[in-house]
């Protein structure tokens, strides 16, 4: 268990080469009914970069994603994002009862490119099967989505984003509920997607994982920090991000956050 390195200590952050941003925000504020729940967001992401979006629940991660997807308007500032992004929602919220196979779900990524009266045809099916093969699920293509494991479902939804050929992919807490093998597979997959020249935004609670990626965006109703992990992931920044004290969990459980509203922690 290593403490977060202080600034200037540990690995030196590689300098970011400035290129064409796939998504960029400047002074962005977003919210519902004209009331901002997230303010002061300024960041940019280029092809090949993975960014972890850290923050407590209610900190604005989902609001930022909805704004990038165009579901809610920016209340202030500017946001430039592709018209259509790949989106990998939380699998625990997807419908497990829906009568579709993994292939059917991957095929949903082809619909945007078709006129409304067209159904996906043979070419689209081939692309969907390719995408399932890329995420390592070729052999369960014809299995019902609801019968797959949590990690497999997550990868099917990644395949759907691949079929869309989205340059920017948003993942909402994709590692929640995955066992370590599934989590490693998914992380390797994200690395592959980045190498292919996609930009990837991942809402996550796992700071150690964020450390392995190119960028970190910390949100707590406003932007707390944005930059390379070595500079951002310090104890003070994390405390400001989670609005509480970072504490050592008992029995080597790693480090946890004690939220300020929590008055009577069980020991």
Partner 1 sequence: MSGVWHALADPWTQSIMRHAFAEVVLLGVTGGALGCWIVFYNLSYSAESLAHSLLPGLVVAALLGLPLLIGGAAGVLLAAIAVAVAGRAPEIGRDTAVAVVVTALFGLGVLLALSPTAPPGLQGLLFGDVLGASDTDLVLAAALAVVVLIMLRLLHARLLVVGFDRLNARALGVSALGVDVGLLTLLAVALLVAVQGLGNLLVVAVLIAPAAAARVVARRMGSLMALSSTIAIAAGVGGLYLSYYAKTAAGASIAGILVATYVVLVGLHAATTGARSAPDGRAYSRPSSASRRSSKRRSASSWTRVSARR
Catalog residues that contact partner 1 under the rule CB under 8 A: 1, 56-58, 69-71, 84-87, 89, 92-101, 104-105, 107-114, 116-120, 144, 146, 160, 164, 173, 176, 180, 183, 205-209, 238, 242, 246, 249, 253-259, 262, 265
- Assign residue 70 a region (left: φ > 0; alpha: ψ between -120 and 50; beta: otherwise): left
> Residue 165 Cβ, how far from partner 1 at the closest point, in Å?
12
> Residue 229 Cβ, how far from partner 1 at the closest point, in Å?
12
**Cα–Cα nearest to 215, from 205, 201, 204:** 201
Segment holding 237, helix H or strand E: helix 235-242
> Residue 69 Cβ, how far from partner 1 at the closest point, in Å?
5
Q: SS3 of 181, please?
A: helix
Q: Closer to partner 1 by CB, 27 or 227: give it.
A: 227
Q: Closer to partner 1 by CB, 92 or 196: give it.
A: 92
> Residue 92 Cβ, how far from partner 1 at the closest point, in Å?
6
Packing angle of the helix pair 180-195, 150-163 (nearest 10 deg): 10
Q: Closer to partner 1 by CB, 41 or 233: give it.
A: 233
Q: Closer to partner 1 by CB, 42 or 176: give it.
A: 176
Q: What is the DSSP letter of 213?
A: S
Residues 6+ apart with CB under 8 A from 255: 1, 207, 246, 247, 248, 249
Tally of CA atoms within 13 A in the half-sphere of 183 that contains its CB:
11
Q: Closer to partner 1 by CB, 48 or 256: give it.
A: 256
> Residue 221 Cβ, how far from partner 1 at the closest point, in Å?
15
């Amino acid at each position: 268990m290593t403490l977060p390195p202080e600034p200037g200590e540990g690995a030196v952050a590689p300098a970011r080469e400035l290129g064409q941003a796939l998504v960029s925000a400047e002074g962005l504020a977003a919210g519902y009914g004209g009331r901002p729940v997230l303010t002061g967001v300024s960041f940019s992401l280029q092809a090949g970069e993975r960014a972890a979006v850290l923050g407590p629940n209610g900190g604005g991660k989902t609001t930022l994603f909805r704004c990038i997807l165009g579901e809610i308007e920016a209340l202030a500032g500017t946001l430039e994002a592709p018209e259509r992004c790949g989106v990998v929602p939380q699998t625990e919220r997807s419908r497990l009862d829906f009568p579709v196979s993994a292939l059917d779900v991957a095929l949903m990524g082809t619909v945007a490119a078709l006129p409304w009266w067209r159904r996906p045809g043979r070419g689209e099916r081939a692309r969907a099967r390719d995408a399932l093969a890329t995420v390592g699920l070729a052999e369960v293509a014809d299995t019902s989505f609801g019968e797959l494991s949590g990690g497999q479902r997550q990868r099917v939804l990644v395949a759907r984003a691949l079929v869309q050929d989205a340059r920017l992919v948003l993942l909402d807490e994709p590692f929640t509920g995955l066992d370590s093998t599934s989590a490693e597979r998914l992380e390797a997959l994200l690395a592959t997607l980045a190498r292919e020249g996609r930009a990837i935004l991942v809402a996550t609670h796992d700071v150690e994982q964020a450390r392995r990626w190119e960028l970190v965006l910390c949100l707590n109703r406003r932007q707390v920090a944005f930059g390379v992990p070595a500079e951002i992931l310090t104890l003070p920044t994390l405390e400001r991000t989670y609005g509480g004290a970072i504490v050592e969990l008992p029995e080597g459980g790693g480090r946890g956050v004690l939220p300020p509203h929590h008055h009577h922690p069980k020991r």
